[in-house]
Amino acid sequence: MRHLLSTADLARDEAESILDLAEEMKKVQSRRVKKLPALRGRTIVNLFFEDSTRTRSSFEIAGKWLSADVINVSAKGSSVSKGESLRDTVLTLSAMGIDAMVIRHPASGAPAQAAGWTNACVVNAGDGTHEHPTQALLDAFTLRRHFRAATGDPEADWSGRTVAIVGDVTHSRVARSNVLLLETLGAEVVLVAPPTLMPSGVGTWSCRTSNDLDAVLPEVDAVMMLRVQRERMHGGYFPTPREYTVGYGLTRDRLALLPEHAAILHPGPMNRGLEISADAADAATSRVLDQVAAGVAIRMSVLYHLLGGDEKIDATSLIGTKGQTA
């Protein structure tokens, strides 16, 4: 794997390899000393042109726990604020001999362009309304753990599972990456949104679509509520916030429509009271905090797959057998 720009680039065995190694990386979080020597001597730059808390922090932690040297660069405070182009920024950093670049950018396709300008590995940390592949991987990781815990089957996966992705699909890079990845892994995905928030051309996607949330909820094994991205909206996508909640919010009343085993996910940050109620966000089957915790493990796995060498990954030798050593 040279870059991670889209979940469409991942075959099923590659995606499962990332998830399997993340299971081992997750064990590092419970250690007293949270360090592995796996990427010692490697340099990773987190290049963020958009604000972020979860993604940026988890990439930074992931790199440091793998013993890489991690540098954070944001648009504000860098030469970008003086008018430097993305291309010149990428070329400048590449000339310094870095090994990987994690890029978040408001323009769709920016990380893919950057990959053509550098010899470093490039990870897409979210580009415009296009994709967010590591978010989809951590969502899949969270769901697989949920399915295995719910069934007691350590080999349970997505086969025969239905996942609903609900809300502002038009502006959601998370939705696009999840549709591609979950279907690659064997799940059925149904997108639920008002017609105004269904993206143009969605009819060509391989997933199902619906405008009726109440009809879909009883049949799902998981529901992912998307944030209403009001900062990207220029026009009237729905009459009022109240009407959106009535039609497409995961309210207290709608919780009763979900099967008891169904997981509730949200990529965050949540607009409580708009797309998700406090009752749903804090429900027993809510896996929102599990998603946050999974972010570090998944990004450790991705970085290791990109920078750890071409040899077959041996998780036992990489992680070690003693829980408190590093």
- Annotate 180-215 with b (16+ C-beta within 10 A) or e (fewer): bbbbbbebbbbbbbbeebbbeeeeebebebeeebee
The answer to whether the annotation marks 269 as part of a ligand binding site is: yes
pLDDT tens-digit series, residues 124-162: 999 999 999 999 999 999 999 999 999 999 998 888 999
Is 299 within any annotated ligand binding site?
no
Mean pLDDT over residues 225-236, rounded?
69
| pTM assigned to the model | 0.92
CATH topology for the 133-290 domain: Rossmann fold (3.40.50)
CB 226 within 8 A of CB 275: yes
Q: Quote the tokens at residue 227.
A: 């944030």
Does the annotation flag 54 for ligand binding? yes
Instruction: Say which amino acid occupies 310.
Output: D
135 annotated as ligand-binding: yes
Cα 261 vs. chain centroid, distance in angstroms? Answer: 22
**Does the pLDDT of residue 280 top 80, yes or no?**
yes
Q: Annotation-wise, does 55 bind a ligand?
A: yes
**All CATH 3.40.50.1370 domain ranges in the chain, comma separated:** 7-129+293-319, 133-290
> If we measure between CA atoms, which residue out of 269, 219, 213 comes closest to residue 244?
213
Residue 82 known to bind ligand: yes
pLDDT tens across 165-183, in order?
A: 999 999 899 999 999 999 9
- Whether residue 7 is annotated as binding a ligand: the answer is no
pLDDT for the residue numbered 325: 40
Please identify, in words, the CATH class of the domain defined by 7-129+293-319.
Answer: alpha beta
Q: Is 173 annotated as a binding residue?
A: yes
